[in-house]
């Protein structure tokens, strides 16, 4: 990073993303932007910048994970603060984009909250958005501003390539039809077969797995998804493939949301390894499964994307030779 970049590029962190943002800054040899978020006694949030941002290219990194509404409000206040301090461009970096599952009307009289959140971020005068593995690629179109949609596939590919011999005879299993493209790409990259599970969601927390299309007998099964939330889908899928004769099961997901009974379900499941990234902070929630948990860092990937955006270089070039983003 040149001296001019140090003077013009600023990266700030929300309260829940300080560790990840520091890894981003380390990758591009930039000091972490100085700002402070505090609470008034009544719970109101205030953000105070502790350095000059006038005319600077600024990035604010906040995952809108649990507590979702607090983190979302902090993001909006951060945007207002940076704009009123005369930053020349402000880019929102959401490693995990909350409300992403409310992306369509799948029944009558329900909201499309992902669009509402996009409107709020736009109204707060963000200039662009950098997101990682959105739950649905269509969410990019909800924003009336440029969106760079990254995928964590290069991070997963490097990890699984490093342990490829340990995996042995491999089968990539998509736990639902929406992730087939990514599973198929990984099957080609890692040299494995492909199988698909058809899933039916009964409610927000209940999923029933149906049929397995493909053969997993005596194979290591690797399942990919964009997130593990309650872990209902992935655990039921793991039981199904083990019943069909799989040798072992690895589960991989970009976002380890892990709410409700998720950690307990994973602890009691036949899954031998859970591979996630640090888009959502763990905060000690996963101590009971740390023997089977691998936490990969997306800091260098986000740092490289920020570097490319700042210098007006191609972001899509980051994904050549990998599985790309979810369609």
Q: Which tens digit of pLDDT belongs to each residue from 224-264?
A: 989 999 999 899 999 999 999 999 999 999 999 999 999 99
Q: What is the pLDDT of residues 60-98, one digit of tens each?
A: 999 999 999 999 999 999 999 999 999 999 999 999 999
Q: Which CATH number fits domain 153-296: 3.40.50.2020, 1.10.730.10, 3.40.50.720, 3.40.50.200?
A: 3.40.50.2020
Cα separation, 169 vs 55, whole angstroms:
55
Q: What is the pLDDT of residues 264-304, one digit of tens each?
A: 999 999 999 999 999 999 988 899 999 999 999 999 999 99
Average pLDDT over the chain, rounded to an integer: 92
Q: 204 pLDDT exceeds 60?
A: no
Q: What is the mean pLDDT of residues 118-141?
A: 96
Residue 175's pLDDT is 82
**With bands split at pLDDT 50, 70 and 90, how would you rate the model's confidence at 318?**
confident
Nearest to 252 by CA among 175, 197, 322: 175
Cα separation, 160 vs 166, whole angstroms:
9
Residues of the chain above pLDDT 70, percent: 93
Asked whether this chain's domains 3-151+299-319 and 153-296 adopt the same fold, the reply is: yes
- Please identify which of the residues 10, 115, 199, 219 carries the catalytic annotation: 199
Q: What is the mean pLDDT of residues 127-151?
A: 96
Q: 180 pLDDT exceeds 90?
A: no
Note the CATH architecture for domain 3-151+299-319: 3-Layer(aba) Sandwich (3.40)
199 as an active site residue: the answer is yes
Domain ranges of the chain: 3-151+299-319, 153-296
Q: What is the mean pLDDT of residues 124-145?
A: 96
């Amino acid at each position: 990073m040149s001296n001019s970049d140090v003077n013009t590029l600023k990266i700030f962190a929300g309260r829940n993303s300080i560790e990840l943002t520091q890894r981003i800054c380390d990758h591009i040899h930039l000091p972490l932007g100085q700002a402070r978020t505090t609470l008034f006694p009544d719970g109101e949030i205030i953000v105070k910048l502790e350095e000059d941002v006038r005319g600077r290219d600024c990035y604010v990194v906040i995952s809108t994970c649990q507590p979702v509404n607090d983190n979302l409000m902090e993001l909006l206040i951060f945007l207002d603060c940076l704009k009123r301090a005369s930053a020349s461009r402000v880019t929102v970096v959401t490693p995990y984009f909350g409300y992403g599952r409310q992306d369509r009307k799948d029944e009558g009289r329900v909201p499309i909250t992902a669009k509402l959140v996009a409107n709020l971020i736009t109204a707060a005068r963000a200039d662009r958005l950098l997101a990682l593995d959105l739950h649905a690629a269509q969410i990019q179109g909800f924003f009336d501003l440029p969106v760079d949609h990254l995928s964590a596939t290069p991070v997963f590919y490097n990890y699984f390539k490093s342990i490829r011999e340990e995996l042995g005879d491999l089968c990539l299993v998509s736990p639902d039809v929406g992730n087939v493209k990514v599973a198929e790409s990984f099957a080609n990259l890692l040299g494995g077969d492909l199988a698909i599970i058809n899933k039916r969601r009964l409610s927000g927390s209940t999923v029933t797995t149906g049929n397995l299309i493909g053969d997993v007998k005596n194979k290591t099964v690797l399942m990919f998804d964009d997130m593990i939330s309650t872990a209902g889908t992935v655990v039921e899928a793991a039981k199904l493939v083990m019943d069909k004769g799989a040798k072992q099961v690895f589960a991989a997901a970009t976002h380890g949301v892990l709410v409700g009974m998720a950690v307990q379900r994973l602890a009691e499941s036949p899954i031998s390894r859970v591979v996630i990234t640090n888009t959502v902070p763990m905060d000690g929630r996963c101590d009971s499964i740390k023997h089977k948990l691998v936490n990969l860092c997306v800091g260098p990937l986000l740092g490289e994307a920020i570097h490319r955006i700042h210098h007006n270089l191609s972001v899509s070039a980051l994904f050549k030779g990998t599985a790309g983003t979810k369609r």
